[in-house]
Amino acid sequence: MRNPSYDILFEPAKIGPLTAKNRFYQVPHCNGGGYRDPSAVAEMRGIKAEGGWGVIFTEQTEMHHTSEITPFIEQRLWDDADIPALRRMSDAMKSQGALAGIQLAYSGINGPNLYTKEVPLAPSALPIRTFTNDPVQARAMDKTDIRDLRRWFVNAAKRSKIAGFDLICLYGAHGFGIFQHFLSRATNQRTDEYGGSLENRARFVNEVIADMRDAVGDTMGITLRVSLDETIGQLGFSNAEVREFIEMNADLPDLWDLAQGTWEDCSGPSRFKEEAAQEVLVNGIRELTSKPVVGVGRFTSPDVMARLVKQGVLDFIGCARPSIADPFLPKKIEEGRIEDIRECIGCNICITGDMTMSISRCTQNPTFMEEWRKGWHPEKMNTKGDSSNVLIVGGGPAGLEAARALSLRGYDVALAEAGTELGGRVARERLLPGLSAWGRVADYRTYQLSQRPNAETYFDSRLTAQDILEFGFENVCIATGAHWRADGVSRQHVVPMPADPAMPVFTPDDIMAGRLPNGEVVLFDDDHYYMGGVIAELLAKAGCTVTFVTPSAYVSDWTLNTLEQAAIHRRLVEAGIKIVLNTGIAELKAGEVVTECTYTGQTSAIGCEAVVMVASRISDDALYHELKAREADWADAGIKSVKLIGDAAAPGPIAWATYAGHRYARELDMPDIGDALPFRREVTQLA
Ligand code: ADP
Ligand code: SF4
């Protein structure tokens, strides 16, 4: 049963004219599906309702066609045609008594309007501020534009009501919403009554909220999401000014929704931000207002949540990523099942779905955004099929997730691991600088397996094909992982790079096993995700002089999608690492590497004692192929199926491995669908 110290999290609380059933508040979050995948998003939000959230929000919703952020895929409420899709979402949100919220965004200086081709409107005429530095500028709004925009907000509020929402969040945080653009002196350089003093800069938000109250305020709650500290230099909306603004406008919205400055700061990965990292910026704000306050901080610990509410720092616990990793977080706290919480690891893979306009994944919750597409529920598995047992070889993320999910389905599961601990790559990577929270991938699954009577784990069991044939399991799942290659093959070199054996070469596996180079080291990163940056950091801490060479224009290029690229670059510079961009390696010689400009091919040399190669990985699939070669013996051994999954099939991020494990578990014994599409989707209806 529930620990009484968490009771406070289950007390109802008012937001304007409405009451939330508890303090669990799913703040707006993107998912890469948006308007393109309306049923998938609706079902995902519906699962959160089932998981016990008191308030559930949409992602940002473009409230007028004159401001949109193509290529990013969020929601749209441009006219009545968008109402049915949003209605489906609000119905799902409200299915278990939660309040349904819609976040209305007018992107102003942040909306390049690449799709609608409208001229962007902003408080002041400045270049559009996007991730991609689009060559577009905004026109400064005149008084007519401001009147129009106020009317458009009222229209959007009325449509939100028709679409079934209870709450409206006005977006003015992360640099993304027009309210922030008016409030900040960096983006508002007006000299009329909307610019200059804080009172003037706050005029627009006051007008919009007053208009909205007249239109829908009797039945809907209006919340305002502002940045706690804009962190864009002296002109930015600082934490001190935010406090002044809230003090001057204490009762303006029905709830203050406080988010950190930039999105990168607010959704900082665990490598750079602890749980509750924003507490100092939030502390004391609640005393400035009679309205409730929600704040975020990748909260996964109910003790931290209860403390923040008890101490009067927050009224509501805002969660985006923790609600993705475990949509049943509130329910598990309510039922006293703390150890069943699937804690977010703070890897930001979910955000990459939005940044790549694909559809989001979650490392911890492979069912995220598959609730409708594949009918996957985060807590319930499909019923067991005809066979009864499975041997899983390899206890990394893929094997662990397959074992967990299959045991829930009712199969007898044997998990054989060559080593002495579970976790595979995660067991090693969790020891790297800043990555300890990633260990939760293994910890959650190891504990869940320990609770299953039908799952056995065997350590020190490096299996051969002969072993497997002798065991006679009906199904065999090979999840034997991958290792880093030392020959430089990746993107620049598709065959091994020329190398003098006199130059010592180390891989990330060597470093993780404690085999470190000394002295001057060149780290070559042609992988472009986190590993190169993390290893460079580790080597610098160990006393090496590190030169980081990459063919990309950015350090850890792909981490632009996990919102940590700038933080990684900063950390490497602070660690004294020399960064050489746009540069490949032509050849390894004794005592030096010959580098090569990516654009011109011009060569030069860097003297060093060792090279660390962060290139690509090779699947450890030999066992699978051995077994495959003996397919004729399977029937006698009682084997019905053998499948290769995870990094052993094709190396990828950890989220790809947990997904592969989960998919294997879902699909075992299922009828063959042949050439059919393995998921549902919505196709645009022709006009
Ligand atoms: P993935 O990310 O696909 O789960 P990992 O590399 O993290 O892959 O994990 C693979 C795991 O498989 C490692 O823990 C490794 O020790 C184990 N393993 C590899 N080969 C064998 C084998 N022949 N028998 C048992 N375990 C194995
Ligand atoms: Fe957390 Fe990573 Fe899942 Fe995002 S993808 S919710 S950061 S575990």
Q: What CATH number did the domain enclosing 445 receive?
A: 3.40.50.720
**Interatomic CA distance for residues 436 and 416, integer angstroms:** 25
For residue 627, tell me if it sits in a domain. yes
Residue 682 located in a structural domain: no
Q: Average pLDDT, whole number, for the chain?
A: 97
Contact 518, 536 (CB under 8 A): no
User: How confident is the model over 212-234, as pLDDT tens digits?
Assistant: 999 999 999 999 999 999 888 88
Angstrom CA distances, 547 to 260, 534, 574, 607, stand at 33, 13, 13, 10
Query: Are 403 and 290 in a shared domain?
Result: no
The predicted pLDDT at position 236 comes to 87
Give the count of beta carbons closer than 10 Å to the beta carbon of residue 178: 30
pLDDT bracket for residue 131 (50, 70, 90) = confident
Q: Which atom of ligand 2 is nearest to the CA of 440?
A: 8
Atom number, ligand 2, closest to the C-alpha of residue 322: 6
Ligand 1 neighbours by CB, cut-off 6 Å = 393-399, 416-419, 424-425, 461-463, 479-482, 620, 623, 646-648, 657
Residues 281 and 204 in one domain: yes
**Which segment of 135-144, 168-177, 319-328 scores lowest on mean pLDDT?**
168-177
pLDDT of residue 277: 85
Does residue 349 fall inside a structural domain? Answer: yes
Same domain, 224 and 311: yes
Distance between CA atoms of 539 and 432, rounded to whole angstroms? 11
Locate 10 and state its tokens: 């289950």
Which segment of 474-478, 532-536, 683-687 scores lowest on mean pLDDT? 683-687
Distance of CA 422 from the midpoint of ligand 1 (Å): 9
Instruction: Measure 364 CA to ligand 2 centroid, in angstroms.
Output: 6
Identify the burial level of 243 via C-beta atoms within 10 angstroms of its C-beta, where 0-12 means exposed, 13-18 middle and 19 or more buried: middle
Residues 338 and 402 in one domain: no
Strands laid side by side in the 389-393 sheet:
455-458, 412-416, 389-393, 475-478, 641-644
pTM flag (> 0.85) = yes
Ligand nearest to the CA of 321: 2
> Which ligand 2 atom is at minimum distance from the Cα of 320?
6
348 lines ligand 2 (CB under 6 A): yes
Q: According to the model, what pLDDT value does residue 233 have? A: 82
Q: Do 191 and 339 have their domain in common?
A: yes
Q: Of 337, 355, 373, which one is at a domain's C-terminal end?
A: 355
Q: Domain count of the chain?
A: 3
98 and 47 assigned to the same domain: yes
Decide if 375 is inside a domain.
Answer: no
Shared domain for 58 and 192, answered yes or no, is: yes
Per residue in 4-46, pLDDT tens? 999 999 999 999 999 999 999 999 999 999 999 999 999 999 9
In this structure, the answer to whether residues 513 and 610 fall within a common structural domain is yes
The CATH code of the domain that includes 266 is 3.20.20.70
Instruction: Provide the token pair at 678.
Output: 């393995």
- Identify whether 116 is part of a domain: yes
Q: Tell me if 283 sits within 8 A of 242, measured CB to CB.
A: no
Compute the distance from residue 605 Cα to the ligand 1 centre, in Å.
38
Kind of pairing between the strands at 617-619 and 482-484: antiparallel
Among 347, 417, 428, 654, residue to substitute to test ligand 1 (most atoms within 8 Å of Cβ): 417
CB of 474 within 8 A of CB of 640? yes
In 3D space, the residue among 352, 279, 278 whose CA is nearest the CA of residue 561 turns out to be: 352
What residue owns the CA closest to ligand 2's atom 5? 362
What confidence score (pLDDT) does residue 278 get? 87
**Which amino acid appears at position 35 of this protein?**
Y
**Element (DSSP H or E) covering residue 683:** none
- Look up residue 97 and give its amino acid: G
Pairing of strands 55-62, 24-26: parallel
**pLDDT band of 265, cuts 50, 70, 90:** confident
Q: Are residues 602 and 647 in the same domain?
A: no
What confidence tens digit (pLDDT) does each residue in 5-16 have? 999 999 999 999
The answer to whether residue 175 scores a pLDDT higher than 90 is no
Cα 400 to ligand 1 centre (Å): 10
Q: Under a CB-based contact definition with an 8 Å cutoff, are residues 550 and 532 in contact? A: yes
Mean pLDDT of 250-273: 91
Question: Alpha-carbon distance 415 to 404, whole Å?
Answer: 10
Assess contact for 557 and 531: CB atoms under 8 A: no
| DSSP H helical ranges for 360-464 | 397-409, 425-429, 440-450
Q: Does residue 269 have a cis peptide bond before it, meaning omega lies within 30 degrees of 0?
A: no
Per DSSP, the residues of 253-306 read: SSEEEEE-SBHHHHT--TTT--TTTTHHHHTTGGGG-SS-EEE-S----HHHHH
Is 551 a domain residue? yes
**Interval 234-242 mean pLDDT:** 90
Do 418 and 281 share a structural domain?
no
Whether residue 654 is contained in a domain is answered as yes
Measure 270 CA to ligand 1 centroid, in angstroms: 25
CA–CA separation, 678 and 680 (whole Å)? 7
- Closest ligand (CA of 365): 2
| Amino acid occupying residue 150 | R
For 204, residues 6+ apart whose C-beta sits below 8 A from its C-beta are 123, 146, 178, 179, 182, 194
Check if 30 has its Cβ closer than 6 Å to any atom of ligand 2.
no
Q: Counting ligands in written order, which one lies closest to the CA of residue 658?
A: 1
Ligand nearest to the CA of 653: 1
Asked if residue 75 and residue 143 are part of one domain, the reply reads: yes
CATH code (residue 588): 3.50.50.60
Tokens 């579970």 map to which residue?
422
Taking the CA of 659 as reference, the closest ligand is: 1
Asked if residue 389 has pLDDT above 90, the reply is: yes
The predicted structure's pLDDT at residue 125: 98
Q: What CA–CA distance (Å, rounded) separates 430 from 409?
A: 29
Distance, CA 436 to ligand 2 centroid (Å)? Answer: 14
Q: Is the pLDDT of residue 266 over 90?
A: no
Q: Say which residue, 684 or 664, is predicted with more confidence.
A: 664
pLDDT tens, position by position, 422-458? 999 999 999 999 999 999 999 999 999 999 999 999 9
Are residues 470 and 525 both part of a single domain? no
Asked if the structure places residue 239 within a domain, the reply is yes
Question: Domain limits at 215?
Answer: 4-355
Specify the DSSP element, H or E, that contains 565. helix 565-574
- pLDDT number for residue 71: 96
